[in-house]
Structure 1
Amino acid sequence: MILIFRISELFEDVGEFGDGYRLTESVKRRSHLWFGPKGTCTQLHYDLTNNMLVQVYGRKKLTLIPAFQVPHLYNDTHVYSATDFPEIDVKRFPKMKKVTAIDVILNPGGAVFIPIGWWHCVGSLDVSISVSFTDFNINNDFFVNFPRVMQ
């Protein structure tokens, strides 16, 4: 049996968040499919767009840190922290003790909005499939002029 899967059908299955929130003409170039095994993790970082993350299959744990806590997060390279969050060496990174994180478990069918500049890391608790959307009906391309290397 051959299974043919088209990503555009997945985007159609997720649907809209509400009238006028997304630019439907850009869904194919401003959307991302995330697929990985249990234990897949992204390191602590922030995005240069607002994001809506929708869980399709499996579960993920998101740790979110509001943007106003940036002075404590040791921005190192581009949009990443120098820390090994959540395993923090507080002797090397003492300001991290002041960080208050918000943990969220994202189940299938669930969604979370991640505002631009909010720091986060994501871990797959199971084999996981997620879709993220950045095609909002607002200016959401702050990555265009952002430097790739932090000075």
Structure 2
Amino acid sequence: MASILRAAGLTVRPVERAGAADVGALRRRVAARSGPLVCAGLLEAWPARAGWNPADLAERHGERRVTALMDLPATHVLFPQDQRHYERELAFGEFLDRMTATGPTAPCYLAYQRADEIFDPADCDFASLLPPDGHGTDTRVWIGSAGTRSMLHSDLKDNLFCQLWGEKSVILLSWRDSRAAYPFPGNLVNSRIDLAEPDLTRFPRLRKAVLHQVRMRPGDLLYIPRGWWHDIRAHTPSVSVNHWFGEPLGLPDYLRLLGVLGPAYWRATTRDFVAHGLLRREESTRFFFSPASTGRRLYDALRTGDFSHSNDPSADA
């Protein structure tokens, strides 16, 4: 995808890489939050790196029932239908068979799955990488076919994204360039841009932004600082795990972004504050694992003091 972006005239730089197994470089980058960092080969000693491949997973966990997203659309930012339309319950072994056989035109994904609900969390030794910091953490597993996509979005916490099997590409954009991400008016953490088909007529601010790109191979770890926008796509059937940690972005950060985005965003936030906060109307889930709308989150902030509780994956861990 980086070649598509460069051909469109956009600036794309490689993500900085640390030396093999350089835990110190990772810790310094996390402390500084100075940008993303790839640590190649940092996961080679993990049991998950050796054992979380489809054959071994099927042998050890194949009878377990899971709920996966099947026959997903291969294009566009939003799902044509509610996400629940794509959910199917099936045996994990059956899903793994489908995952390895499915092409990218109708991908399938066991995604946003808490690691400890299926696997031994000790297989991923995050504690040896970063000491506890007093904030909640959450670890999720992402297992899917070629063609799976997490479209351009922003997370409120720091993130360690780990590639265990297969290959994915990640495109990143700094939080400070959030206006160039063109968030949806009602949702400040999801972008309207499909980076595979960049429309610079609709989204001209992207021309002045700097994008960062990395192809993740087995054993690679990518540090994504909180707020950084990222688009993740699988080139092959893939097994990944991510770990959210640290102090989250808070209400002042989002209010500053809301302030510079303008009246269309203020109107959408007010609408959703009333509809999904005061009136408690159910929100649609046409984003990939839709977070609550900005208006609903603002309502929660006024009611509970926590703007991001409904979008904090560790909050209900």
* TM-score (ref. length: structure 1): 0.80
CA contact (8 A) 1:42 1:121 kept: yes
Moved over 6 A (4+): none
Between Structure 1 and Structure 2, how many residues are aligned? 141
Q: Helix, strand or coil: the match of 1:132?
A: strand
| Cα distance in structure 2, aligned partners of 1:71 and 1:37 | 32
TM-aligned CA distance change 1:141 to 1:8, over 3 Å:
farther
Q: For the residues of structure 2 that align with 1:14 and 1:124, how far apart are their CA atoms?
A: 21
Match of 2:199 in 1: 89
Cα 1:101–1:8 change in 2 (3 A) is same
| 1:15-34 paired onto structure 2 within 5 Å | 15-16=125-126, 18=128, 21-22=131-132, 30-34=138-142
Structure 1 or 2: larger helix share? 2
1:68 and 1:36 map into 2 onto residues whose CA distance is: 31
Give the residue type in structure 2 aligned to 1:3.
E
Contact 2:142 2:239 in 1 (8 A): yes
Kept in 2: contact 1:49–1:142 (CA 8 A): no
Take 1:124 and 1:20, find their aligned partners in 2: how far apart are those partners? 27
Counterpart among 48, 52, 59 of residue 3 in structure 1: 59
Cα distance between partner residues in 2 of 1:141 and 1:96 = 23
Say whether residues 1:41 and 2:149 are aligned partners.
yes
Distance 1:75 1:128, change over 3 A: same
**Residue equivalent to 2:181:** 73
Matched to 2:118, the amino acid is I
The answer to whether the 8 Å contact 1:53/1:133 transfers is: yes
Counterpart of 1:85 in 2: which secondary structure? coil
| Rounded Cα–Cα distance in structure 2 between residues aligned with 1:18 and 1:104 | 24
CA distance in 2, matches of 1:19, 1:112: 12
Query: For the residues of structure 1 that align with 2:193 and 2:140, how far apart are their CA atoms?
Result: 26
Assess if the C-alpha contact under 8 Å between 2:226 and 2:249 holds in 1: no
Larger RCO (CA within 8 A; separation ≥ 6) = 1
Matched, 1:102 2:212: yes
Structure with the larger strand share? 1
Cα RMSD, aligned residues only: 2.6
Deviations 1:4-46 (A, max 9, x none): 237332x3222135365247xx76xx11000110111111111
5+ residue gaps, structure 1, are: none
- Deviation at 1:108? 0.8
Asked if the contact 2:170/2:230 (under 8 Å) is kept, the reply is: yes
Q: Percent sequence identity over matched residues?
A: 27
Aligned letter for 1:8? F
SS of 2:210 mapped into structure 1: coil
Q: Which amino acid counterpart does residue 167 of structure 2 have in structure 1?
A: R
> Which ranges in structure 2 are unaligned for 5 or more consecutive residues?
1-57, 62-116, 255-272, 274-291, 296-317
Aligned to 2:225, which of 115, 118, 132?
A: 115
Q: How far does the alpha carbon of each residue in 1:77-130 deviate from its partner, in whole angstroms, 9 at most, with x for none?
A: 421111222312111111111121111111111101111110010000110010
Whether contact under 8 Å (1:34, 1:130) holds in the other structure is yes
**Which structure is larger by alpha-carbon Rg, 1 or 2?**
2
* In 2, Cα distance between equivalents of 1:71 and 1:20: 31
Q: Give the TM-score taking structure 2 as reference length.
A: 0.40
- Closer/same/farther in 2, CA of residues 19 and 106 from structure 1, 3 Å limit: closer
Contact 1:58–1:107 (CA under 8 A) maintained in structure 2: yes
SS at match of 1:139: coil
